[in-house]
Amino acid sequence: MTATTPVLTDSKTLNEVVNCLTENLPIQTQGKCEQQNIFEILIRAATQRDSIENTTKVLKNVPTSNDIRYHLEKYSDLSSLEEALNKALSLPLANRYTTRATENCHRF
């Protein structure tokens, strides 16, 4: 794995997580610093147990760590942000498993 490869190597999974976050946690951005970039950097930093600063240094053609922090500072209540993140990430999984369980029940 190279330094530019995200830890979530399955692109479908990474896209689902990024899409989920984008839909549920809108961040007003402009220019090079788009929501998708921010979430991809945060996901990579979290899964690598790395800092935002080091992650942005390792990756190419991404916003700076200062750009990322600027947008994160828009959320002043971190407890509410954490709650919203957990809710956003758990909803698709619950819906997916409920649907699959229902589909499997109809097969029998």
Look over the chain and give the mean of its residue pLDDT values, rounded to a whole number: 77
pTM over 0.85: no
**Taking the domains of the chain in order of start, what are their residue ranges?**
11-107
For residue 20, which of 81, 101, 84 has the smallest C-alpha distance? 84
Q: Name the more confident of 24 and 68.
A: 68
Residue pLDDT, tens place only, 78-88: 788 788 878 87
- Cβ 40 vs Cβ 34: under 8 Å: no
Rounded to an integer, what distance in angstroms lies between the CA atom of residue 52 and that of residue 98? 35
What phi and psi, each to the nearest 5 degrees, are found at residue 62? -125, 160
pLDDT band at 8 (very low <50, low <70, confident <90, very high): low
Rounded to an integer, what distance in angstroms lies between the CA atom of residue 41 and that of residue 12? 16
pLDDT at 54 over 90: yes
